[in-house]
Each structure stands twice: as C-alpha cells, then as structure tokens.
Amino acid sequence: MAALAYLLLPVTGLAAFLFGPDARTRFHGVQAILIGLIWPIALYGASIISASFTRVVFAAGAVVWVLAIGLAASGRDLRLPGVSPYLERISEQDPRRDVP
C-alpha cells in the first residue's frame, strides 16, 4: 500500500495519509504529498533559469519518484533528508482517530 502513495503525486499521497492503516503508509503518504508539491515548484523555478536546468530538475525528480515507488514496494523506505523526522511525527497520528 505504501508504494501506491507515490502513483499520482500528490493525490494518492493524500489518500494514503488519510486512509492508511499504519504509520508507514501514512509516512509515505505525507512524503508523496511533499514530493508532489516540491517537484512542480522546482520545475517552475528551473524554467526561469534555463531549459537545460529544467531537464535536469525533471530527471532528478523522476529518479526520486521511481526510487520512492521501488523502495516502498520492496519494504524499504526512502527518507527525504532534513524533513523525515517531521514527517514521521505527522504520520504517527491516525487522522481518522484524532478527530475530537
């Protein structure tokens, strides 16, 4: 289920976060949302600089996306540097159970 979070960024990430049965699936959901927001913003910024840089940013994002899917499917976790502790804290709480 965790690998499916990356299928259609960030839509499936949101579904995995909201309906994920465990913290690992919710973690990948939140991370997929983050990747799905950062990648287009980075592409837009790169397009201001040059077409070549846009291709590099696209390729780097595609590599991260494919690695995230592959590692999650194999039971290992890709963790984005710097933000993983925050994402883990967010994913520990089940959004369905924490509503007052």
Q: What is the mean predicted confidence (pLDDT) over 73-83? A: 93
CA distance 83 to 6: 17
Give the pLDDT confidence of 6-26 residue by residue, as tens digits. 999 999 999 999 999 999 999
pTM listed for this prediction: 0.90
Angle at 53 between CA 80 and CA 78, to 5 degrees: 15
Residue 96 has pLDDT above 90, yes or no: no
Give the pLDDT confidence of 46-69 residue by residue, as tens digits. 999 999 999 999 999 999 999 999
Give the pLDDT confidence of 31-43 residue by residue, as tens digits. 999 999 999 999 9
For the chain, give every domain's residue range.
3-92
Helix (H) or strand (E) holding 53, with range, is helix 51-73
